Amino acid sequence: MEQLREQYPDARHFCWGYIIGDPDNTTSAGFDDDGEPSGTAGRPILNVLQHKSIGNVIIIVVRYFGGIKLGAGGLTRAYAGSAQAAVDEMILNPYVPMTQIQILAEFATEAQCRYMIESLGGHIDDVAYSKQVTLTATLAEADVENLKARLAMDGRVLDNSED
């Protein structure tokens, strides 16, 4: 918010609505009217997010006073319209819970382990070499059991599977 206030120093209001978590089972949701009449700014922004079932998002509308008072209805429509325009431009990605794992592998099987992780959409965070190779990787929680099964078939050991 500080960045926005610095970026738009002449703006009068920075109103927002947010949803944290799954939109159907939110951890937290809220809004702020930032000095606008109660319920005319942040609430309409939050309503747009709730009606679109979007989670893990915040919309902040920056408003300048243009010299004409809009009234409560006009403010509500303006803020809801701005939020709707932002939502219409969003590229939404589904939330995928991720986890970090460590894999112990022989040097000869390192490339195969890397391939298995990457084929499941995971990525390698770190590699440590000693008597064996320790790969630290991040992948979707839903893919951990699949990776464990693939690794176990070839005699590799998965260690510290949940952080």
For the stretch 117-156, pLDDT in tens is 999 999 999 999 999 999 999 999 999 989 988 887 655 6
Q: How confident is the model at residue 67 (pLDDT cuts 50, 70, 90)?
A: confident
Please give the residue range of the domain that contains residue 40.
Answer: 2-89
Number of domains the chain contains: 2
In CATH, what number is assigned to the domain containing residue 30? 3.30.230.30
Do residue 33 and residue 62 come from a single domain?
A: yes
Q: Average model confidence (pLDDT) for the chain?
A: 88
Cα distance between residue 24 and residue 53, in whole Å: 7
Do residue 59 and residue 112 come from a single domain?
A: no
In tens, the pLDDT along 110-127 reads: 999 999 999 999 999 999
Do residue 14 and residue 64 come from a single domain?
A: yes
In CATH, what number is assigned to the domain containing residue 154? 3.30.70.240
